[in-house]
Homo-oligomer: A and B are copies of this chain.
Amino acid sequence: MTSADLTPQTPAPAAGASPEALDAILRDNFAPWIQRLGLRVEEAGERRTVLRLPWSDELAREGGGLSGQAMMAAADTATALAVCAARGGFVPMTTVQQSTTFQRPVSGRDVLVDVRITKLGRTLAFAEITLTAEGAAEPAAQATTVYALLG
């Protein structure tokens, strides 16, 4: 996310750390283009949140592999939701930095986006994200992210 983008124009609804609450935050706050990823929250917790990126030909490039751009977008979106889970509800925030390495191709399978919040400070949050094709032993991609918390 980028600065101030998430500032709600209406008061944020009361929310919790449940997968359903996070799915609602995803639906209400992210760009329509991000909705097209079809991300779903599988687990939500104080330190760890997991999303599923369902396989879709829309996200695959010529040759059939999942685009790296979709994995970066899923990692960023999942971190924002993981921070909300860690704080117990919606919080305005902005991505400061994301670093991603691409290690293995994915084709025809959902990807699990596993976020671990490694520090939740007053103004900055840090996370590490591992993206793994469902059923695979090794990661497709890994990311680290830094977020600025605005509220």
Residues of A within 8 A of B (CB): 1-9, 28-34, 36-37, 56-73, 76-77, 94-106, 118-119, 123-124, 126, 128, 138-142, 144, 146, 148
Contacts and interface: CB of A to CB of B under 8 A. Distances in A.
A59 to B, nearest CB: 5
| A-B interface, 9 closest residue pairs, ranked by CB to CB distance from nearest | A5-B65, A99-B99, A69-B73, A3-B105, A31-B67, A103-B119, A29-B62, A97-B97, A68-B95
Contact of A67 (B33, B102, B138, B139): B33
Contacts of A3: 65, 102, 104-105
A123 B8 CA distance: 22
Contacts of A100: 97-99
A67 B28 CA distance: 14
B146 A71 contact: no
Contacts of A138: 118-119
Contact of A31 (B69, B119, B123, B142): B69
A37 B36 CA distance: 12
A90 to B, nearest CB: 10
A52 to B, nearest CB: 17
A119 B104 contact: yes
A31 B58 contact: yes
